[in-house]
Amino acid sequence: TYFRFNMENRQRTGLLLEACLRVAMSMQSYRLAKTIIETVAMFKVGVNDPSSQRNLDWFNGVMRKQYGETGLPRLKLSNMKVETPGEDEIATGDVAAITLDLERLHAEPFTKVKIAMCQKQGIPPQVALQTYREGWWILVRGKKIDGNDDDNNSTQPPLEIPSNPLTKMLADADKKKFESETGENRLLTAWPMIVQNMAQKTGKVKVQFKAPAIPGKYKFYVDIKSQEFLAADQSFELEADILDGEEVKRKAIDEDKKEEDGEEEAGDEGKKDK
C-alpha cells in the first residue's frame, strides 16, 4: 500500500534528498549527511523511524521471511587500515586512503531467491540480475587526539566552502553553523559504493581522502551506511600519526643530498687512486 500510493512522489522526493545530500557534503557536515542517508533508507523501506526497535524487528522479520534466516543484509569487515599508498607514513597534504576487505553475508540467499522468482515467472535470471542496485555510503571523519585540539576548533583549518548553486542559496548564518562544527563532525570524504552484482560476495574497498592539514595524532571514524536496508550499518575507528609534510619533504631532500655527497666523495677517492 505504501509503495502503491507513493510512486508518483518517489522520484520527486529522491531528487530533493539528493540535493540535500549534496549540500551536506559540500559543507562537510557528517551529522546532516548521516541523517539524510538514513532518511533515504527510511523512505525506501517505508518506515517513519529507522532506529525504532519495532521497525527494526518488522524489517528483519520481512527479510527472514523472504530470504531465510541467513538472509539479513549484513556486511563483514576485515583488514581495515589507513595509509598513504606507496609511502611509509602519512603526511599533511597527502592523498591518504582507508582500505578494507568486505564480505556481503546476504549475497548467496538474495541471489538464490531472486533466481527462483525469475524461473517461476519465466523471466531470464540474467535480465533481472542486471537491474540490481545496492547503495552504500562510506563516511570518513578525523579527530585530533594528541591534546592540541579543543572544543573551540582553535587548531582546526577553516571550512572550504565550494562555490555552487546549492551553497550560494545558504544564508551566512547557516554557513557559520557548519563552520563551527567540531573535527569529529566534519567529513573528510563521503564515498558512494554501488553493488551492481547481487551475487558478489567479497570485495576490496579503497576510500581516498585528503590527509588533515595539521600534523598530530588522529583518530579516524569510518561509517558504512546503507541507503537500502535497516540495521545494516557498520562503523570502526583507526588511529594514525599525521606528519608535517614540509618536514617529510626536507628529510627526503637531505637524504638525496647525502647520497649525492657520497657519490662525489667516492668519485674523489677514485681520482686519488689514479
Which residues pair with residue 97 across a beta bridge? 83, 208
The grid coordinates listed for 220 are 579516524
- Read off φ and ψ for residue 247, nearest 5 degrees: -70, -40
How does pLDDT run along the chain (274 residues), one tens digit per residue? 455 556 667 677 777 888 888 888 888 899 999 999 999 999 889 898 988 999 999 999 999 999 998 999 999 999 999 999 999 999 999 999 999 999 999 999 999 999 999 888 888 888 878 889 999 999 999 999 987 544 445 556 666 766 777 677 777 777 777 777 777 899 999 999 999 999 999 999 999 999 999 999 999 999 999 999 999 999 999 999 999 998 886 455 555 555 555 555 555 555 555 5
pLDDT at position 250 is 47
CB-based burial label for 214 (10 Å; 0-12, 13-18, 19+) = middle
SS3 227: coil
CB–CB of 13/40 below 8 Å?
Answer: no
Q: Rounded distance, CA 242 to CA 133, Å?
A: 37
SS3 248: helix
CB–CB of 243/90 below 8 Å?
Answer: yes
**DSSP assignment string, 36-103:** HHHHHHHHHHT-S-TT-HHHHHHHHHHHHHHH-TT-S--EEEEEEEEE-TTSSSEETT-EEEEEEEEE
pLDDT at position 18 is 85
Cα distances from 75 to residues 109, 171, 190, 227, 259, in angstroms, run: 14, 39, 18, 14, 49
SS3 156: coil
Q: Rounded distance, CA 125 to CA 138, Å?
A: 30
Closest CA to 234 of 110, 103, 40, 63: 103
- What fold does the segment set 2-243 form as a domain? Immunoglobulin-like (2.60.40)
pLDDT at position 152 is 40
DSSP label at residue 26: H
CB-based burial label for 145 (10 Å; 0-12, 13-18, 19+) = middle
Cα torsion angle, 263, 269, 272, 274, sign: negative
Closest CA to 33 of 141, 176, 194: 141
Q: Rounded distance, CA 67 to CA 158, Å?
A: 48
pLDDT at position 7 is 61
For the chain, what are the domain ranges?
Answer: 2-243, 246-274
pLDDT at position 75 is 97
The grid coordinates listed for 185 are 563532525
